[in-house]
Amino acid sequence: MSLPFDMKEDSIYMVPLGGCGFFGANMTLYGYNGQWIMVDCGMGFADDTMPGVDVLLPDPTFAAELGDDLLAIVLTHGHEDHIGAIPHLWPRLRKPLYATKFTAGRIRKAIDDATWGPEARIHEVPPQGKLDFGPFHIEYIPMAHSIPEANALAISVKRVGTILHTGDWKLDPDPVEGGVTDEKALKTLGETGVLALVGDSTNAMVPGHSGSERAVQKNLADLFGEFKDKIAITCFATNVARLSSIDAAAKANGRKVCLVGRSLWKIDEVARQSGYLKDTRPFIEEDEANMLDAGKIVYICTGSQGEPRAALAKIAAEDHPRVRLRADDVIIFSSRAIPGNQRAIDRIKNRFYGAGINVITDREAPIHVSGHPYREELKQLYAWTKPKIAIPVHGERMQLEKHAALAREAGANLGYDLQTIMPANGQVLEIASEGIASYVGEVQAGILAVEGGRVVAVDHEAILVRKRMMFNGSAVVTVVIDAHGKLAAPPKVTALGLLDENSELDAQYIADAVKEIKKAVENAPKELRADDDALSEMVRVTARRFFNARFDRKPQTRVHLVRI
């Protein structure tokens, strides 16, 4: 492939295709001397500005066009924003996948039903494993996180240096599941020399320390003891440590735990197969839970982010076939809202409040800790690794800016000038061996949407039409004319999202619209009435002008012209 930039022998090239400027859809390429590796292949989540779309993907065009020059896809850990695009994008990339056992198990589950699933080569990487691809030497460094087997990647090229790609991480001295962050390996890396640190910025604005999962376990046990009726709790399905903590808290209060939602059962299966949840009792099914007294059960439910088809939303709407909550029961939100999801979450909470159900979040009780580093943890990482360059990723612009400022301060405290640079998706960074990073080009990047089982651009006409309909409604006008272009019947007008045909007032508006359209057709020149396309467009414009004048709306308008 001919690149839109020149590659120097003393530089590594970094190209983020996702994860910069917004949360999720993480995908980063590293290149040297014409060869490349991809780190992570994640998805993002759409908000309510994109009706009908749940999943967003990074545009992999540049990566796919690399062909044989793209050597492998290396995964840091098993969260959806790092592996969730694989089921959608692997057929375009068709490269071997490298991941630790738990993450590999998650990927296998995700592609089980795909016709191409058996073709995907998934290679399991042992703890603290090492990989070599062409000029790249990669070492896995264990990091604590809210999912087992999170890893930073030390990516080295002999003639240039080492880039530390942190992935998602935190400092937790006593994690419930998974290991601690490998302080020794990070310090050793710092002593050897880190050219650049590509780092998680999620909580770069938050002071202090993210806290330990062990404290959450104790706090949940105390909280469960305050309630006598049913307890339901929602968390991220992938938070294996939280599943263990909830079971321990339930056991301490004489309760059993039921999983509600398919993704939770999938995580449970992969976790146990990978050697986790050893001290956690088997979870029970919904039918068994319904046979227990209210004070003997804890439900763990999917849907902590307000997803409309998840278990929690169905329970809130009293639409779940087997799980019901009543007044005096409690729902606990043991998670934080991903930016953009707060309104959807609040709608669910309000349903519970309206039913007299107790609602508890991390504002009322210390029942959640983040899996991402707060500012003091970021400072500690810089003190250990002493990079020459800091490249903040995984966040919106405000998080990236705060991370960059913190990195510069950390460098000053260590007695040197630390360069910071914040690439946008698609920008090409040249990371030179002398410790200078600069922009040298740009490649195709963007966001794709999973729309009706297919992958399309976010500005696909079907999505744009739905957005216009959501805000402006839609109108359909049927006009029947004869061979001479004269009306054979009165026009028919339907206005969804604008008018109620059963309302007397709205019926008058429809009559007025019909009258205006009829007048426009009858007064149209003979030549125009002989041209179906021109006549249809004239009717469409007339209808839109009517609705804009009456309701200050420009509905998505379609005209059905029938000539008899």
Indicate the residue type of 254.
G
Nearest to 395 by CA among 415, 352, 425, 365: 425
Q: Give residue-wise pLDDT tens across range 127-157.
A: 999 999 999 999 999 999 999 999 999 999 9
pLDDT of residue 308: 87
Helix-strand-coil split of the chain, %, nearest 5: 35, 25, 40
Distance CA 248, CA 280 (A): 7
Compute φ and ψ for 153, nearest 5 degrees.
-120, 125
Q: What is the pTM assigned to this prediction?
A: 0.85
**C-alpha distance across the termini of the chain, in Å:** 57
Contact predicate 323/260, CB 8 Å: yes
Q: Where do the domains of the chain lie, and which CATH numbers do they carry?
A: 11-208+370-457 (3.60.15.10), 213-360 (3.40.50.10710), 473-563 (3.10.20.580)
Contact predicate 495/474, CB 8 Å: yes
pLDDT of residue 49: 64
Distance CA 432, CA 195 (A): 8
| Residue stretches of the chain with pLDDT short of 70 | 1, 47-53, 458-469
Tokens found for residue 441: 């080009």
Nearest to 246 by CA among 265, 269, 221: 221
Tokens found for residue 68: 């044989």
Contact predicate 259/300, CB 8 Å: yes
Distance CA 103, CA 109 (A): 10
Distance CA 303, CA 260 (A): 10
Compute how many other C-beta atoms are within 10 angstroms of the C-beta atom of residue 144. Answer: 26
Q: Which parts of 461-559 fold into alpha helices (H)?
A: 461-472, 504-522, 526-529, 532-551
Q: Is 325 exposed, middle or buried, given 0-12, 13-18 or 19+ CB atoms closer than 10 A? A: buried
Whole-number percent of the chain with pLDDT over 70: 96
